[in-house]
Amino acid sequence: MDPLLEQWQKDYKNATPKLDTAALLSQITSARKKQSIKAWFDLVAGTFVSLFCIYALIFEATSTPEQVLYAILTPLPIGFSIWAFLKRKKLIKSNILDFNALLLFKKQQLINQINYWRLNLIGCSILWAALCITAAVSVLMYNHSTIWLIQLGIGTLVLILTLTRYLYLKYHLKGKLNYIDNLE
């Protein structure tokens, strides 16, 4: 073997940072426990809220629109919990991907993030428009201004924050994708 490489191998081994393995083990055991508790909590909470929606649909809803509302709401919490669970699994699997596959995965994550915030923005915009119409009707016809103005203010703030986040991510997306491309 090349003597220089041999010397570097020796130097590299000697450059091992100081390790407190007992502390490391204790930290990751605790971190893993927390992750596990969080995963179970997400799943139980999602199931509980969905079950509550079913209860409300059967015993609490007094009109058809209410029943429709609860029927639409029922699958959402449990669906979100399952999505989060599958996402965790996918993330764990990414640990054993090949280098290029990992970079592809990272690029897809960035694109998914943009799509997620775009959808969020569209949803917020629709809700904000609906809120504006409802507020206008309420203020003009029934003179209930304060509560609607507060709601409109909160809605506008949420919309601005969502828009800012989306524009920020969109602005930086190309640079991030180029950076990953350069690693390949």
- Residues contributing to the site for another protein (CB under 8 A): 4-5, 7-9, 11-19, 21, 24-25, 27-28, 31-32, 35, 92-103, 106, 172, 176, 179-180, 183-184
Residue 99 CA, chain-centre distance (Å), reads: 25
If the CB atoms of residues 92 and 140 are measured against another protein, the closer one turns out to be 92
Closest to 70 (Cα-Cα) out of 62, 78, 61, 79? 61
Cα(183)–Cα(177) distance, integer angstroms: 10
For the bound state, the minimum distance from the C-beta of residue 84 to another protein, rounded and expressed in Å, comes to: 16
In this complex, which beta carbon is closest to another protein, that of residue 144 or of residue 170?
Answer: 170
CB of 55: closest distance to another protein in angstroms?
A: 36
Q: Toward another protein, which CB reaches closer, 23 or 141?
A: 23
Least gap, CB of 180 to another protein (angstroms): 7
Q: Which is nearer to another protein, 146 or 182 (CB)?
A: 182
Q: Provide the 8-state DSSP code for 63.
A: S
Is the CB of 17 or the CB of 65 nearer to another protein?
17
Say if residues 107 and 180 touch (Cβ distance below 8 Å). yes
Angle at 100 (CA atoms; ends 98, 106), nearest 5 degrees: 100
Q: How far apart are CA 51 and CA 101, in angstroms?
A: 39
Q: How far is the CB of 93 from another protein (least distance, A)?
A: 7
Closest among 28, 30, 76, 27 to 51, alpha carbons compared? 76
- Nearest distance from residue 4's CB to another protein, in Å? 7
